[in-house]
Amino acid sequence: MNSLDQFVLAVIKSPSQYTELDQIYVHNRILGLVGEGDVVAAADEELTSLVDALVTTACQNGKIEDTPSDKEILADQLMDMVTPLPSVLNQSFWDKYQASPQMATDYFFNLSKTNDYIKTRAIAKNVSFPAKTEFGDLEITINLSKPEKDPKAIAAARNQPQDGYPLCQLCMQNEGYLGRLGYPSRSNHRIVRMMLGGETWGFQYSPYAYFNEHSIFLDQVHRPMVINRQTFTNLLEIVNQLPHYFVGSNADLPIVGGSMLSHEHYQGGRHVFPMMKAPVVRAIDLGVEGVDAGIVKWPMSTIRLISKDVVALTDAAVKIHESWIDYSDESVDVRAYTDGVRHHTTTPIAYKDGENYVLDVVLRDNQTSTEFPDGIFHPHQDVQHIKKENIGLIEVMGRAILPARLKTELAEVGKYLLDQPNQMVDMHKKWADQLKSTNIITTENVESVVNAEVGNVFARVLADAGVFKWDETGEAAFDRFVAAINE
């Protein structure tokens, strides 16, 4: 049996709409996609291997060009054949949900892996390690999963009109979209519909996941990110519906937000982040009955709200958010507005702890200055050799997503520390010299020394992004803000 026949059987066995009777039809549909020449053998019987073989077959038959874009589009068309229709998938999800929310997400998550929507093979290339710091064990990851874009695709993406179809990669219109040069293929993409605050939202997994069951919750309407009462309500409603998941929103301003400000969305998943383990060090009184509030021992200025009552919790969060929007404290460089431009917002994160709902509200300020042109509360120049990108939701919670370049660069730093021939990039030299002077470095410990120090740099990165620092001045300033909330 060749890989085409094997794939036909897999399609019929899959939870797709096809049955035994459809065998000839499915065979011919695949022939139409890959062409009628010799069929390339697959490495094994895994679905991804069968699809790889069929994609190579299509290249040989001249059905597609041997380009990343063409190959991805065809692979996802084939994977679409093993995937239930959106209507069927939604029905199954909510049927299983009746038994338990976790059974429903397990079903959807496994399906999204099986049909290669979640790029499990690419994600496996990521580097990840824990790093002990004064703020607990942070999580360091080096992101190697996103494929290098080929220049033709980048050029095509640049030339696309802003009002193209789909409007953006977070729009529902991506479900089943074929894709094109410079725009990802989404034939095998599925979205679960859920109701939030009387409106339809989509729930999907992230193809290049940064942590377990990394999910995206997206507004059915293409409209800009915003943090307001509805955001807090929606986040709490999501963890009410999926109590085994956390969910958070990126801030709604540049520099302190994520990379997609044009489409309202949240990110969630099944992972306990370092920030969630960080303790409350000072209880505070926000004057909202039934809500416990406190300052979290965390490099980014965070108020934790805990309650069984989601309405009270939302009231408390709104109180903090609205106070912060207008709050300035020149003594610590905190300014709500300059020249009429707003700088303040929050990054909220919700999760359940037993019967309690927890809402962590992180204060953000996106000012820039002559001294800090990239941002006053953004990684400063001296740590940008490790991280210069925006500190978004995932990193706020203590999981570093470091650029791919660091994998080779840190190996060169290691060689430098061992006085071996190396090609260390100049920008790491000051840091490396400091490591050399404070550590006894051997071939046995060099990797763990470098990793630990990357952890310390990441803690510094987060501290830079924190508006109130952990020193006498910063803590006093935090207390003044808390007092101002109640005024």
Enumerate binding residues for Zn ion (CB under 5 A). Answer: 167-168, 170-171, 222, 263
**CB nearer to Zn ion: pick between 222 and 480:** 222
Shortest reach from residue 23's CB to Zn ion, in Å: 39
Q: Give 127 or 168: the residue with its C-beta nearer to Zn ion.
A: 168
Nearer to Zn ion among residue 222 and residue 297 (C-beta): 222
Report the residue number, 133 or 204, with the smaller CB distance to Zn ion: 204
Q: Is the peptide bond before 86 cis (omega within 30 degrees of 0)?
A: no
Residue closer to Zn ion (CB basis): 163 or 419: 163
Token pair of 424 as six digits? 């260390």
Q: How far is CA 318 from CA 229, 230, 233, 286, 341, in A?
A: 6, 10, 10, 11, 21
If the CB atoms of residues 180 and 222 are measured against Zn ion, the closer one turns out to be 222
Does residue 321 contact residue 230 with C-beta atoms inside 8 Å? no
With a CB cutoff of 8 Å and minimum separation 6, the contacts of 118 are 109, 112, 205, 206, 207, 209
Task: Report in angstroms how near the CB of residue 184 gets to Zn ion at its nearest.
Answer: 13
Min separation Cβ 199 and Zn ion, Å: 15
Q: Is 28 helix (H, G, I), strand (E, B) or coil?
A: helix
Closest contact distance (angstroms) between CB of 30 and Zn ion is 32
Q: How far apart are CA 407 and CA 423, in angstroms?
A: 13
Smallest distance, Zn ion to C-beta of residue 163, A: 11
CB contact burial 204-242 (16+ within 10 A = b; e otherwise): bbbbebbbebbbbbbbeebeebebeeebbbbbbbbbebb
CA dihedral 260, 262, 263, 264 (to 10 degrees): 90
d(CA 317, CA 229): 8
Q: How far is the CB of 263 from Zn ion (least distance, A)?
A: 4
Which residue lies nearer to Zn ion by CB, 167 or 425? 167
Q: Minimum Å distance from CB 214 to Zn ion?
A: 19
Dist CA 205 CA 215 (whole Å):
4
CB of 292 to Zn ion, least distance (A): 37
User: 168 is written with which tokens?
Assistant: 């953006």
Return the number of the residue (265 or 428) whose C-beta is nearest Zn ion.
265
- Considering only CA atoms, give the Rg of the chain: 25
CB of 283 to Zn ion, least distance (A): 41
Q: Minimal distance in Å, beta carbon 183 to Zn ion?
A: 13
State how beta strands 246-248 and 215-219 pair: unpaired
CB-wise, 147 or 164, nearer to Zn ion? 164
Beta-carbon contacts of 245 under 8 Å, excluding residues fewer than 6 positions away, are: 105, 213, 215, 238, 239, 268, 269, 270, 351
Nearest residue (CB) to Zn ion, 171 versus 310: 171
How far apart CA 271 and CA 178 sit, in angstroms, is 32
Instruction: Give the residues across from 248 on adjacent strands.
Output: 267, 349
As a dihedral over the C-alpha atoms of residue 343, residue 390, residue 191, residue 276, rounded to 10 degrees, the angle is -90
